[in-house]
Copies of this chain bind each other. A is one copy, B any other.
Amino acid sequence: MTGLAGKVAAARTRAKEAESDADDSEVRLGELDGFIGFNLRLAQDASFRAFTRRVGETSLKPGRFAALMVIHNNPGITPGALGRAIARDKSTITPLVQALLRDGLVERRQSRTDRRSFTLRLTKAGEALRRELLAPAQAHDRKLDEIVGERKEEFLELLRRIVELLE
């Protein structure tokens, strides 16, 4: 997994005709190269790896960090609402929440308004870890900001439009 992103870029820029068997330095992506979806996946993959590298392999993955952030900002949120906020199905939010409970980062209480449900809050340890990870997470995103430059707001707007309109 060393330098995947760089090699992808190299493969793209060095793409050219290949008459016999293709080797490493002359991979043609074809239609894929102009597909927004494909490039979105490469960029998301690169961002995910860079986040993990910066925050530390041993610590939280982006998905769990996002959950911590949302619970912090919405004390008392239910698992369902949390899942909708970070685009996770209820079948994936249950194990995620259980992992956070297991690690002592989150606590749950019976919901007063809906006895089928319950509410989530960060524990002291959860707050501490969130605070600890916020700095490297922000550093990671500042790096993305640098790359995108002054077009950041337009870029974010397009990403949000994709989410809203691709329903």
Contacts and interface: CB of A to CB of B under 8 A. Distances in A.
Interface of A: 1, 3-9, 11-12, 18, 20-24, 26-32, 34-51, 62, 66, 69-70, 72-78, 80-82, 84-87, 89, 111, 113, 119, 134, 137-138, 140-141, 143-145, 147-148, 151-152, 154-156, 158-167
Given A37-B140, A145-B36, A22 B76 contact: yes
Contacts of A119: 21
A5 B87 contact: yes
Contact of A84 (B11, B43, B51, B143): B11
B144 A162 contact: yes
A42 B48 CA distance: 12
A44 B134 CA distance: 23
Contacts of A3: 167
Contact of A46 (B27, B134, B163): B163
Given A31-B69, A66-B32, A160 B9 contact: yes
Contacts of A42: 87, 159-160, 163
Given A81-B24, A162-B46, A138 B40 contact: no
A8 B85 contact: yes
Q: How many copies does the complex hold?
A: 2
A16 to B, nearest CB: 11
Given A4-B87, A28-B73, 18 more contacts: A4-B89, A5-B167, A9-B160, A11-B85, A22-B74, A27-B73, A27-B84, A28-B70, A30-B73, A31-B69, A36-B155, A36-B159, A37-B48, A37-B51, A39-B160, A40-B44, A41-B44, A43-B162
